[in-house]
């Protein structure tokens, strides 16, 4: 990994011209810019206007002053941006875009999904190819989403065009406007006491449902206008399928799985903001070592499982061979299995003989009754139970041992 450090004074703009792999940018309080890459080429250049330029054909990690403005031209893989107090402009991200604790954001194009949690300014995203998950945006929102949209925590103006479903949790301020068009369903949750004017358009006469206090829940028609409270904010929803407006928590919670992008996850592997480079390396080595041990343990467990399965399969084959051999011997002795049962031809009479009672074996003077031989059918039954995972290998061993000892 190649690293470069640049000391800065005052406000700066960091411009990332090109990243062939993944990009990670983290804001911190230090008056310096740190860049790390797995590429052979890495430069940090600053001009008279305090614009710092950098690029990488591989993965790039940047630590920038928290109030720095960020300009990103092209990222081939994924991008992860965190703790940035300046403005952020992104032209193109080929993969997924994740942002946490940022200020105003402008995005031109994202090939995959976009996840945003806590934005202190406006959000403009002109082209999101996949899903979008937006939480707590403290400014106006204007987005175009190719797939699903999950929006929670937007108090200002919202303009959204969505290719599939839209799930909205809104508390708009008086005088604000919300306009959402979706190719499929729209689910809007409002607080029980809201002051809004709703303009709703569905796909047919039964596609609109409003479940709010004091509002008639069912009304036929693919267009519906509803005034809740004293009005105040305007919400316009147009769906290609159904429109549901509710204040019930349980109905909203049913779409929790709709927003997998909004779940907070760990930071990118190997890097932890605010720590020294030496500590980064030690933590990374420990993580790699723990991962290696976990993989080795998993492989050993799989190998043991394969060995057990091979022993079970072998035992099954032996038991089946014994069963077939016993059947052949039975057929030679004149035992025939008919379609509806077992038929045994009569045995020719023989001259009677005086039976000799067998002498039972004794151990320590105590006679032990003879045990019945263990049949292959009993063994086969136990092995089939093991193969079907109805019993464990330990239970199977105990049962087989018990049969051998009976």
DSSP per-residue letters across 233-277: EEEEEEESS-EEEE--HHHHHTTGGG-GGGS--PPPTT--TTS-H
Say whether both 2 and 130 belong to one domain.
Answer: yes
Quick one: which of 117, 116, 86, 115 has its CA closest to 103? Answer: 86
- For 49, 73, 176, 248, the CA distances from 4, given in Å and listed in that order, are 20, 20, 46, 53
Does 352 score more than 70 pLDDT? Answer: no
Categorize the per-residue pLDDT at 284 as very low, low, confident or very high, splitting at 50, 70 and 90. Answer: very low
User: Is 283 part of a structural domain of the chain?
Assistant: no
Say whether both 174 and 80 belong to one domain.
Answer: no
Q: Which of 112, 147, 182 is the last residue of a domain?
A: 147
Q: Which of 130, 147, 164 is the last residue of a domain?
A: 147
Say whether both 319 and 224 belong to one domain.
Answer: no
In 3-state terms, what secondary structure has residue 228?
A: strand
Categorize the per-residue pLDDT at 283 as very low, low, confident or very high, splitting at 50, 70 and 90. Answer: very low
pLDDT at 399: 77
Burial of residue 73 (number of CB atoms within 10 Å: 0-12, 13-18, 19+) = middle
* Structural domain range at position 21: 1-147
Does 253 score more than 70 pLDDT? Answer: no
Give the E-state strand segments of 50-189 in sequence order: 51-56, 60-65, 69-75, 79-84, 88-93, 97-102, 105-110, 114-119, 123-128, 132-137, 141-145, 149-154, 158-162, 166-169, 177-182, 186-189
pLDDT at 275: 43
Of 130-134, 224-228, 229-233, 270-274, give the lowest mean pLDDT range: 270-274
User: Is 361 part of a structural domain of the chain?
Assistant: no
Average pLDDT over residues 276-283: 46
Rounded distance between C-alpha atoms, residue 218 and residue 213, angstroms: 13
Categorize the per-residue pLDDT at 50 as very low, low, confident or very high, splitting at 50, 70 and 90. Answer: confident
User: Is 271 part of a structural domain of the chain?
Assistant: no
pLDDT at 341: 38
User: Is 184 part of a structural domain of the chain?
Assistant: yes
Total number of domains constituting the chain: 3
Higher pLDDT, 174 or 137: 137
CA end-to-end span of the chain, whole Å? 68
Residues in the chain: 406
pLDDT at 365: 47
In 3-state terms, what secondary structure has residue 304?
A: helix
User: Is 167 part of a structural domain of the chain?
Assistant: yes
User: Is 273 part of a structural domain of the chain?
Assistant: no
- For 316, 321, 339, 378, the CA distances from 326, given in Å and listed in that order, are 15, 9, 19, 14
How are beta strands 60-65 and 362-363 bridged, if at all? unpaired
Say whether both 163 and 130 belong to one domain.
Answer: no
Say whether both 2 and 136 belong to one domain.
Answer: yes
Rounded distance between C-alpha atoms, residue 323 and residue 329, angstroms: 10
Does 106 score more than 80 pLDDT? Answer: yes
Does 250 score more than 70 pLDDT? Answer: no
Q: Which structure tokens are listed for 109?
A: 């194009």
**235 forms bridges with which residues in the sheet?**
178, 198
Say whether both 302 and 201 belong to one domain.
Answer: no
pLDDT at 123: 97
pLDDT at 237: 95
Of 40-54, 90-104, 148-162, 373-387, give the lowest mean pLDDT range: 373-387
CB environment 17-29: b (16+ within 10 A), e (fewer): ebbbbbbbbbbbe
Say whether both 201 and 117 belong to one domain.
Answer: no
The CB density around residue 312, as the number of other CB atoms within 10 Å, is 16
Say whether both 197 and 131 belong to one domain.
Answer: no
Does 296 score more than 70 pLDDT? Answer: no
Classify residue 21 by its DSSP letter.
S
Of 13-27, 97-111, 199-213, give the lowest mean pLDDT range: 199-213
Rounded distance between C-alpha atoms, residue 291 and residue 140, angstroms: 43
Average pLDDT over residues 95-105: 95
Say whether both 108 and 214 belong to one domain.
Answer: no
Categorize the per-residue pLDDT at 73 as very low, low, confident or very high, splitting at 50, 70 and 90. Answer: very high
Say whether both 167 and 307 belong to one domain.
Answer: no
Say whether both 80 and 62 belong to one domain.
Answer: yes
Q: Which of 147, 172, 194 is the last residue of a domain?
A: 147
Q: If you average pLDDT over every residue of the chain, what do you get? A: 77
Does 383 score more than 70 pLDDT? Answer: yes
Average pLDDT over residues 368-373: 49
Say whether both 254 and 295 belong to one domain.
Answer: no
User: Is 282 part of a structural domain of the chain?
Assistant: no
User: Is 338 part of a structural domain of the chain?
Assistant: no
């Amino acid at each position: 990994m190649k690293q470069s450090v640049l000391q800065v004074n005052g406000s700066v703009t960091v411009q990332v011209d090109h990243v062939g792999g993944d990009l990670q940018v983290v804001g911190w309080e230090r008056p310096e810019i740190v860049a790390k890459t797995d590429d052979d080429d890495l430069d940090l250049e600053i001009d008279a206007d305090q614009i710092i330029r950098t690029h990488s054909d591989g993965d790039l990690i940047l630590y920038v002053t928290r109030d720095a403005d960020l300009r990103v031209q092209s990222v081939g893989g994924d991008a992860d941006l965190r703790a940035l107090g300046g403005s952020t402009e992104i032209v193109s991200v080929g993969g997924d875009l994740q942002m946490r604790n940022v200020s105003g954001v402008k995005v031109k194009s994202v090939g995959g999904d976009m996840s945003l949690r806590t934005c202190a300014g406006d959000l403009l995203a002109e082209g999101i190819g996949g899903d979008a998950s937006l939480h707590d945006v403290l400014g106006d929102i204007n987005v175009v989403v190719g797939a699903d949209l999950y929006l929670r925590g937007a108090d200002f103006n919202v303009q959204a065009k969505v290719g599939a479903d839209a799930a909205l949790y809104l508390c708009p301020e008086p005088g604000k406007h919300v306009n959402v068009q979706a190719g499929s369903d729209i689910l809007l949750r409002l607080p029980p006491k809201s002051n809004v004017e709703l303009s709703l358009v569905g796909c047919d006469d039964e596609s609109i449902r409003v479940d709010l206090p004091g509002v008639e829940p069912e009304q036929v028609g693919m267009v519906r206008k509803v005034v809740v409270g004293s009005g105040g904010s305007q919400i316009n929803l147009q769906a290609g399928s159904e429109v549901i407006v509710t204040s019930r928590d349980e109905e909203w919670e049913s779409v929790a799985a709709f927003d997998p992008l909004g779940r907070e996850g760990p930071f990118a592997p190997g890097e932890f903001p605010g720590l020294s480079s030496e500590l980064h390396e030690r933590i990374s080595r420990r993580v790699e070592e723990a991962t290696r041990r976990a993989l080795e343990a998993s492989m050993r467990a799989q190998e043991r499982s394969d060995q057990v399965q091979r022993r079970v399969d072998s035992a099954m084959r032996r038991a089946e061979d014994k069963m077939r051999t016993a059947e052949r011997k039975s057929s030679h002795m004149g035992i025939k299995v008919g379609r509806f049962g077992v038929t045994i031809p009569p045995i020719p009479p023989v001259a009677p003989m005086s039976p000799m009672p067998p002498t039972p074996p004794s151990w320590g003077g105590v006679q032990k009754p003879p045990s019945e031989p263990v049949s292959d059918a009993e063994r086969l039954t136990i092995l089939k139970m093991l193969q079907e995972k109805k019993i464990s290998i330990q239970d199977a061993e105990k049962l087989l041992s018990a049969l051998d000892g009976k």
